[in-house]
């Protein structure tokens, strides 16, 4: 998949990350982590850069260390997160989802279930059959647990799934799970992922046909193949 030369692939399900992939929450996340960083006397941009695609507890632990009060750090993040609700959809997200059979897509996110459901509802994106959130996994991305769990919930072979991600940790999780992976150049420039298949946004992934058993033929327009 990562040496994709043709623009057509077939998969049984599509597993999406949420923030940065389906939903643009970059402004909200920046404000949340800025306030969090200021509480600890840290440089906000450094914290923001380390937070993409990771569970709050994983970000807090990597920045503050294992000896820190991680529960208090996560509680602070959650309190700040609750103040932010304004988010928007990534271009093409709604259109793509409406063309996927209901039982053939999932979301695997580092956000909590409450926040994920709130953001999806705010953006008018339906809740998928499989919604794997931060509290539902033992290990966050780049561990593949979330994507493996999503495939199991959908009853599909992970090797026949497409993972769509925007951040390095999520992309690594997708690869480690055994799925096909496409990176979306929404959070990082395409040059960040020189060995990946990259699309500008979700308008560049099109479901062209759905088989009797739900298998989907996709037309992909990679930025690195144009």
Write out the catalytic residue numbers: 17, 19
Cα 11 to Cα 9: distance, rounded to the nearest angstrom: 7
Place of tokens 């992934």: 205
* Cβ neighbour number for residue 43 with a 10 Å cutoff: 11
DSSP 5-39: -SSEEEESEEEE-SBTTTEE-HHHHHHHHHHHHHH
Cα 105 to Cα 129: distance, rounded to the nearest angstrom: 7
- For 108-130, b where at least 16 C-beta lie within 10 A, e where not — what string? bbbbbeebbebbbeebebeebbb
């Amino acid at each position: 998949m990562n040496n994709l030369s043709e623009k057509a692939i077939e998969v049984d399900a599509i597993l999406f990350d949420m923030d940065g992939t389906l939903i643009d929450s970059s402004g909200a996340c920046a404000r949340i982590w800025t306030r969090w960083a200021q509480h600890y006397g840290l440089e906000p941009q450094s914290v923001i850069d380390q937070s993409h695609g990771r569970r709050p507890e994983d970000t807090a632990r990597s920045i503050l260390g294992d000896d820190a009060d991680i529960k208090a750090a996560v509680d602070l993040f959650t309190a700040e997160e609750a103040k932010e609700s304004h988010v928007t959809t990534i271009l093409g997200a709604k259109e793509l989802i409406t063309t996927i059979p209901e039982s053939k897509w999932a979301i695997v996110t580092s956000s909590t279930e409450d926040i994920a459901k709130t953001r999806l509802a705010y953006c008018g994106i339906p809740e998928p059959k499989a919604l794997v959130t931060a509290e539902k996994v033992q290990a966050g991305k780049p561990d593949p647990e979330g994507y493996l769990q999503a495939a199991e919930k959908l009853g599909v072979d992970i090797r026949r799934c497409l993972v769509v991600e925007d951040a390095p940790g999520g992309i690594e999780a997708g690869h480690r799970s055994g799925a096909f992976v496409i990176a979306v150049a929404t959070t990082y420039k395409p040059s960040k992922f020189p060995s990946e298949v990259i699309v500008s946004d979700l308008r560049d992934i099109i479901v062209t046909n759905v088989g009797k058993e739900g298998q989907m033929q996709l037309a992909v327009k990679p930025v690195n193949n144009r």
